[in-house]
Amino acid sequence: MEEKKLYNAVRKIITLADGRQIEIETGKLAKQADGSVVVKMGDTMLLGTVVAAKDAKPDTDFMPLQVEYKEKYAACGRYPGGFMKREGKANDSEILVARLIDRALRPLFPADYHAEVYVTVTLISADKDIQPDALAGLAASAALAVSDIPFGGPISEVRVVRRNGEYAINPNFSEMPECDLDIMVGGTIDNILMVEGEMKEVSEEVMLGAIKFAHEEIKKHCAVQIELSKELGKDVKRTYCHEVNDEELRQTIIRELYDKAYAIATSGTMKHEREDLFNALEQEFATSHYTEEELVEKAPLIHKYFHDDVQKKAMRRMILEEGYDMVSGWKLKRHDPIGKRWPSKFFNWTARTVSGIKLHDFNCGLKAYRRKVVKSIEVYGEMHRYIPILAKEAGFRRIGEKVVCHRARKYGSSKFGMERMVKGYLDLITVSFLSHFGRSPMYFFGGLGTLMFLLGGCSTIWIIATKLYKQAHGLPLRAVTEQPLFYLSMLLVILGVQFFLAGFLGELIDRNASDRNKYLIDKNI
C-alpha cells in the first residue's frame, strides 16, 4: 500500500558569500495560515506566518497591518520559571525587530488594500552564535511570497558589518565586538527601503559601500523568493475591491476646484478664514452638482478627492513653484482631549514667540521640505518638532503652513505627558541658545563675563573709595574683609573672568570646526 504524505514541503537554499546557507521551507508548518515558511540558518529557525482578512472593515481607509516578533524561552530549551510560569509581554528588543519588519513591509502593500493583515515571526530554535533578528525580515517576506495576499515585494533584510576593514553579512554573535559598523538594511530587488543601525565614525564612502554590499545580498534573497512564489503558483495574487472610486468625479473636482483652491491658499488671508473658504468651496461644489439623496453616497468621495487631490497638491505646488523652503501642517481642528490640546497650544505659543516663526503647530508630523533643507540641518532625539527653527537658522526663511485633516486616535495611547512637556521646553531652550550663540559663543559668555567683571570692579572701587573717604574725615571704619559686599565683588570678578575665558575657548573650538567655512551654494554661475 502506498503511503500517503501528510505534507509536501518545498525548500530553497540561499548561499551567502562566505559559504554559509539559509534554508527556506514551506508546506510543512502552519498550513492553515495564508502563508507560512520556516527560515533556517545553522540551528536557528524562524517560523514566519501571515494571515489576512478577505475584505476590509467598513470605513477603513488605511492599511491595518500588525507585525509581531516573538522569541520564546522554548527556542533554547527553557521555560519560564519562578512565580510566573508563562511568557511575558514583548521586550524592547522584540518590539524593535517587529518595527524593522513593519517599516520595510508597509509601503509595499497596494494603496487601496485595506484588509487586516497579521504577520508573526517566531523564533522556534535558537543557535547560541547566530543572530535571529537578521533573518526576521526574510521570514516575513517569504511568508507573504507564498501567500496570495497582494504585496509589492518581495523584500529582505540583512545585517551588514565591517570587521578589520572588510564587509560581512549576518555575522555571528562572537564576531560583533570586532566590528566598527553594524547596520540593518532592508530593500527589494531594485531599491533600498530602510537603513538602521549604529557605527563608530566612518566616512560616507564606507557607509555607502556597506549599503551597496547589503543590497547585493538582498537581491539574491528576493530572487529565491520570486522563484519560490512562481513554483507554488502564488505569483498571481487575490483580487480585492476595498475602495469605491469615481474617477470621473475625481477629475471633475480637480478641473473645477484646483485653481480656486490654489487661489485661496495663496491669498494671504488668515488661517481660520482660509479654512472656512476651503470648506465653503467644497460645500458649494457638492450642493451645486448633487441632490441631498445623491450626497449620501457622493459626499465622502467629494471630501476625499478635494482633500487628497486639491489641497495636498497645493502644498506641493507651494514648494516647487513658489519657492517655499518648507511647508508645515497645521491641525486646525484637533480631536485630542482638552488635557493635551491646551498644553500644546501654550507650547506652540512659546515656540512661536521665541523663534519668531509664525506657525500654529510645531508638533505636526506632516512637513514638506526642499531637498537642500534636509541636507543642511541635523535632527536628533525629539528635535523633530523644532525643524522649522533649525531650518530658519540654516538660512531658509520661506516657511509656510497648510491646514491638514486631523483624526481622533483609534488605537494605542498617546505618549504625551508631563515628562514630554518638560523635555520639550528644555529642547526649546537648547535650540534657542544654539541658534543665537552657537556660532559666536563669545557673544554670550564674553558679554555675561564682561558684565560681571564690571559689576565686581565697580563694587570694589566703591568699597575702596568709601574707606578712603571715611579715613579722611575721621569716621568709624569697618574692615574690608568684614563687609559681605567685598566677597560678592570678588566672586563677580572671578566669575566674570571665567565666563570670558569660556567664551574665548568656545571661539577657538568653533574656529577649528570642520564645517565653519561650509557654505550653502544656491547655484553655480
Q: What does the pLDDT read at residue 461? A: 86
Q: What does the pLDDT read at residue 425? A: 66
**Regions in the chain scoring below 50 on pLDDT:** 1-4
Residue 238 covered by a domain: no
Question: Which of 204, 231, 258 is where one domain is finished?
Answer: 231
Helix then strand then coil, in percent of the chain rounded to 5, is 50, 15, 35
Question: Which of 433, 454, 482 is where one domain is finished?
Answer: 433
Of the candidates 6, 4, 48, which has an alpha carbon nearest to the alpha carbon of residue 23?
A: 48
Residue 420 covered by a domain: yes
Note whether 278 and 311 are within 8 A (CB): yes
Q: What does the pLDDT read at residue 1? A: 36
Per-residue model confidence as pLDDT tens digits over 179-216 = 888 999 999 999 999 999 888 888 888 899 999 999 99
- For position 99, which CATH number holds? 3.30.230.70
CA gap 194, 190 in Å, rounded = 13
Classified as helix, coil or strand, 483 is coil
CA gap 438, 425 in Å, rounded = 18
Q: What does the pLDDT read at residue 243? A: 74
Same domain, yes or no: 272 and 192: no
- On the CB side of 376, CA atoms within 13 Å amount to 22
Same domain, yes or no: 78 and 163: yes
Q: What does the pLDDT read at residue 2? A: 44
Residue 473 covered by a domain: yes
CA gap 298, 471 in Å, rounded = 97
Same domain, yes or no: 352 and 419: yes
Note whether 427 and 386 are within 8 A (CB): yes
Same domain, yes or no: 55 and 133: yes
Per-residue model confidence as pLDDT tens digits over 239-290 = 888 777 777 888 888 888 888 887 777 665 666 777 788 888 888 888 888 8
Same domain, yes or no: 227 and 184: yes
Residue 137 covered by a domain: yes
Residue 201 covered by a domain: yes
Same domain, yes or no: 186 and 90: yes
**pTM of the predicted model, to two decimals?**
0.59
CA gap 37, 28 in Å, rounded = 8
Question: Which of 231, 260, 295 is where one domain is finished?
Answer: 231
Residue 3 covered by a domain: no
CA gap 64, 250 in Å, rounded = 25
Same domain, yes or no: 227 and 263: no
Q: Can you read off the three cell numbers belonging to residue 179?
A: 566590528
Q: 237: which DSSP letter?
A: P
Same domain, yes or no: 65 and 176: yes
Same domain, yes or no: 49 and 166: yes
- On the CB side of 192, CA atoms within 13 Å amount to 15
Same domain, yes or no: 93 and 182: yes
Classified as helix, coil or strand, 170 is coil
Kindly give, in sequence order, each residue whose CB lies less than 8 Å from that of residue 104, ignoring residues fewer than 6 positions away: 137, 141, 155, 157, 186, 187, 193, 194
Measured from the Cβ of residue 427, the count of other Cβ atoms closer than 10 Å reads 17
Which range marks the domain in which residue 27 is found?
10-231
Residue 43 covered by a domain: yes
Measured in Å, how far apart are the chain's first and last C-alpha atoms? 86
Same domain, yes or no: 195 and 300: no
- Size of the chain in residues: 525
The count of structural domains within the chain is 4
Same domain, yes or no: 199 and 328: no
Note whether 148 and 34 are within 8 A (CB): yes
Residue 259 covered by a domain: yes
